[in-house]
Amino acid sequence: MRTIALRDALREALHEEMARDESVFVIGEDVIAHGGPYTVTQGIVDKWPDRIFETPIAEAGIVGLGVGAALAGMRPVVEIMYVDFITCAMDEVVNQAAKMRYMTGGQASVPIVIRLPCGPARLVAAQHSQIMESWFMHVPGLQVAAPSTPYDAKGLMKTAIRSPDPVAFFEYKALYVSEGKVPEEDYVIPFGKADIKREGEDATVVAIGGMVPRALEAGVALEDEGYDIEVVDPRTLAPLDMETICESVRRTGRAVVCEMDSSFAGTGAEIAAALAEQCFHDLRAPIVRVGSPHVPMPFAEELVNVTVPDSAAVCDAVRKVMA
């Protein structure tokens, strides 16, 4: 099995699905000239020059075009250069793509994938560093994926493209160059199936997206203190596999929920609330959440480093539930 970067795994998924299905096409800013800002769409124009289109900086128009094409039977993969600017297309995502199947009684569907590079990277400050997963989890009819490894990224992207319903696909910019094993043969990963990235007995750490490698680092560091943590990666946030998460928490009796986004009204809050409802009598300690403070992302590197939670923050949270 090969070792490749996450962005290369995404690129492979796009190429393979475009070869498999002629209705798949790509639109977005700079997706031809530069292969997108992170080179994920590189090489597509050489194989399918009539199935990749560059757009103006007009997110509402980009997503609107994608929704219309999806309603007409195509399978668009829309790239929004930074998730921050999906706010310019919220009507198209929330009121059109997500609700069309329901409003037509199942007569119409919108098989669109909206790629959303997200999170802090390269010191791009408050307007280019947001994550915003919880915004989209709250929208009925919208699927939300947040892979943390190259293997998951490729398998989930292929599932997203084949899905009959809209998918918000969150890609953590800091993970694009991270490497992992990816098989050469075709595979897909079903939505709504979490993955246990590390088995352990003492505490469950539910880590989302960019926090997964940091939780794994914490797991190694905590071994020296005698703590054996289990790391659960939801992989998709809507649907959310609470069954696997709860099974883990019932075994360990302790739960830490980690996200890179603001912890206020966030993804971690939803998971923690569900754990409190479903696993209350199995808990040996209060649930602890790890996340960023409720502030805009700063520009200065020193401030970014104290804003975004690291493996040390995960270690501190585990120590709290083990105390």
Catalytic residue list contains 128: yes
Which residue among 15, 34, 128, 294 is the active-site one? 128
SS3 for the chain is CEEEEHHHHHHHHHHHHHHHCCCEEEEECCCCCCCCCCCCCCCHHHHCCCCEEECCCCHHHHHHHHHHHHHCCCEEEEECCCHHHHHHHHHHHHHHHCCHHHHCCCCCCCCCEEEEEECCCCCCCCCCCCCCHHHHHCCCCCEEECCCCHHHHHHHHHHHHHCCCCEEEEEEHHHCCCEEEECCCCCCCCCCCCEEEECCCCEEEEECHHHHHHHHHHHHHHHCCCCCEEEEECCEEECECHHHHHHHHHHHCCEEEEEEEECCCCHHHHHHHHHHHHHHHHCCCCCEEEEECCCCCCCCHHHHHHHCCCHHHHHHHHHHHHC
What's the angle, vertex CA 21, arms to CA 50 and CA 161, rounded to 5?
A: 100
* Residue of 240, 242, 323 whose CA lies nearest to 288: 323
How far are the Cα atoms of 85, 149, 166 from residue 42, in angstroms, in the given order? 22, 20, 23
Residue 277: how many other CB atoms lie within 10 Å: 10
Which residues carry out catalysis?
128
